[in-house]
């Protein structure tokens, strides 16, 4: 298993059309055939010092393996998302992880 977690800090003052374009782009990424599971969300209301809640939107994608992730990275839908939505955020942080072979 390969998990690709992406956290976006959106620009202040996005128009409704820009926000809609961004959200549609996230859903399109989840629909890429290499993606096993896709999740789009917002920061939870949990209050603890160790929790980062400053981001605007989260995208978490699960792939069968790193090869599937690599296919996603070069997919035309992913390229289009970067081209059409890349100017809508001020920062993005990406955390990739692989599942342990013996994990349940």
Contacts of 33 (CB under 8 A, 6+ apart): none
**And the tokens for 77?**
């839908």
The pLDDT score that the predictor gives to residue 104 is 56
Provide the CA 47 distance to its chain's centre, in angstroms: 23
Query: pLDDT over 70 for what percent of the chain?
Result: 96
- State the sign of the Cα–Cα–Cα–Cα dihedral 72, 40, 99, 35: negative
- Helix/strand/coil for 91: strand
Q: Please name the residue that has the structure tokens 């809508």.
A: 88
> Which class in CATH covers the domain with range 2-44+59-88?
alpha beta
pTM for the full predicted model: 0.92
**Average pLDDT of the chain, as a whole number:** 96
pLDDT band for position 101 (cuts 50, 70, 90): low
**The pLDDT of residue 103 is above 80:** no
Domain ranges of the chain: 2-44+59-88
The DSSP secondary structure of 12-58, one letter per residue, reads: TT--HHHHHHHHHHHHHHHTSTT-SEEEEE-------TT-----SEE
pLDDT per position as a tens digit, 25-60: 999 999 999 999 999 999 999 999 999 999 999 999
Quote the CA–CA distance of 5 and 39 in Å, as a whole number: 9
């Amino acid at each position: 298993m390969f998990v690709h977690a992406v956290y976006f800090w959106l620009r202040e003052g996005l128009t409704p059309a820009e926000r809609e374009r961004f959200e549609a782009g996230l859903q399109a990424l989840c629909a890429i055939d290499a993606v096993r599971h896709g999740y789009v969300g917002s920061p939870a209301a949990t209050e603890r010092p160790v929790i980062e809640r400053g981001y605007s939107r989260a995208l978490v994608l699960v792939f069968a393996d790193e090869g599937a992730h690599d296919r996603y990275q070069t997919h035309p839908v992913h390229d289009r998302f970067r081209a059409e939505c890349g100017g809508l955020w001020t920062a993005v942080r990406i955390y990739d992880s692989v599942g342990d072979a013996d994990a349940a």
